Chains A and B, each alone.
Chain A
Amino acid sequence: AQSVAQPEDQVNVAEGNPLTVKCTYSVSGNPYLFWYVQYPNRGLQFLLKYITGDNLVKGSYGFEAEFNKSQTSFHLKKPSALVSDSALYFCAVRDRGYGQNFVFGPGTRLSVLP
């Protein structure tokens, strides 16, 4: 069965500092991996995805993520955090051989402090 773990419920970072939101996954085969962001009272918005190729994926709003197959991780990163990045972040995985379901992690709340 597919699963996604986000080991940190909450991440606090000062504005201007680099941020990392962690994600590890478990699938039976090669994964498709996604990051989404949710602002208060809003739906989830797509940030980026890893399908194949370069392990470093660049996405919206200056975010990037690094796929590490040996560590089964897909950590979200940004070189310089903004207060407006404060939100709930979800990692999701889709097993290539499973079907159409996304499995979401529990979410990590990012707070960027001014």
Chain B
Amino acid sequence: DAGITQSPRYKITETGRQVTLMCHQTWSHSYMFWYRQDLGHGLRLIYYSAAADITDKGEVPDGYVVSRSKTENFPLTLESATRSQTSVYFCASSAQRQGDGTGELFFGEGSRLTVL
């Protein structure tokens, strides 16, 4: 089915472990984003990507790594998970062109990560 798919939907890990959250979109959207959603903080941008091999930091990038070797995939890696990274993570994409901010975001269903 077309759309944006995140995996895993639920993950429990331990402090210090590496975790990768996957994001795959079938629309060939140029822009992709990773947000985290926390009570009291709303949605905060972690990283975004304007195209394959182009990524940039958002509001809260520390402790996270992204890559975008293919347009359709945008994995988010927590190199050494901490309890403060317990959150719900959302991947999103947008069809906008460079310099055009009118496009809306399309979100995945989210990945709920618990770090023990």
Contact = CB atoms under 8 A, between A and B. Distances in A.
Given A43-B110, A101-B45, A107-B42, A49 B101 contact: no
Contacts of B116: none
Interface in B22-81: 31, 33, 40, 42-43, 45, 48, 50, 58-59
A104 B106 contact: no
Interface residues of B, number: 23
B49 to A, nearest CB: 10
B102 interface: yes
A83 interface: no
Contacts of A42: 109-110
A90 B58 contact: no
B30 to A, nearest CB: 10
Interface of B: 31, 33, 40, 42-43, 45, 48, 50, 58-59, 90, 92, 94, 96, 101-102, 104-110
17 contacts: A32-B101, A41-B110, A42-B110, A43-B109, A44-B92, A44-B105, A44-B107, A45-B107, A49-B102, A49-B104, A95-B101, A100-B31, A100-B48, A100-B96, A101-B58, A102-B33, A105-B42
Interface of A: 32, 34, 36, 41-46, 49, 51, 90, 94-96, 98-102, 104-107
